[in-house]
Amino acid sequence: MDYATYDAEEQRLVEAVMAKEIPEERLPIEVERLRSLVPTVEPAADRERAERSLSSLEHVLNYKVPPMSDEMAAALQVQSRGLGSTGTPAERIELLQAAIAEIGRIAKTVAGVEATRIRRRRPSIQGDLGRHDPVPPAGRHRAAAGHVRSCLPAA
C-alpha cells in the first residue's frame, strides 16, 4: 500500500470521529484496523511516516479534556457577553472594559494555571476594545510621552 492510500484511510477515521459518526466503543477497533495497515505501507520511509502519524492520532484520541471549572465557565460567559455586546462605540467601550475587569476579578478567586487560563480570556476582548477605542488608556500615556519627545530639540 502506498502512503496516500493509508493517509486516506486515516483521514476517513479522523473525519468520522470529528462528525461523531463512530461510537466511542468502536474507536479502538478502528485504530487497530489502521495499525494493521501500517506494515503494508511501502517504501520503508513512508511506513515510518505512517507509524508517526498513527502515533499522533492515538495521542489525540486518548487525550482527556479536563473538566471546566465554575470560574472558567463564568469567565467564558463574561467574555461572550463582552464580545457580543451592542450599542454605541462609547457603550461598547464601557461594556468591554467591564468584561476585562470582571475576568480579572474571577481570575483572582483561583490560583495557578487556572487563573492564567482565565486571564487568557482577556486579549480577545482587549482586541475588540482597541477597535472601538483608538487610543486605549495605557496608549494615551505613551502617545503623550511621544508628543513631548517630538517637541524637544534634537540632541
Supply the pLDDT for residue 38: 96
Enumerate residue ranges in the chain where pLDDT < 50: 140-155
The DSSP string of 87-115 is S-HHHHHHHHHHHHHHHHHHHHTS-HHHH
pLDDT of 78 reads 92
What's the CA gap between 36 and 30, in Å, rounded?
Answer: 10
pLDDT for residue 142: 47
* Closest C-alpha among 57, 40, 56 to residue 3: 40
pLDDT, position 152: 43
Query: Where are the chain's structural domains?
Result: 3-62, 70-151
Measured in residues, the chain has a length of: 155
pLDDT of residue 124: 86
* Phi, psi (degrees; rounded to nearest 5) at 99: -65, -45
Give the model's pLDDT for residue 151: 42
Give pLDDT, residue 137: 53
Q: Looking at this protein, which amino acid is placed at residue 64?
A: K
pLDDT at residue 67, rounded to an integer: 80
- Overall pTM > 0.85: no
Check residue 39 and give its pLDDT: 97
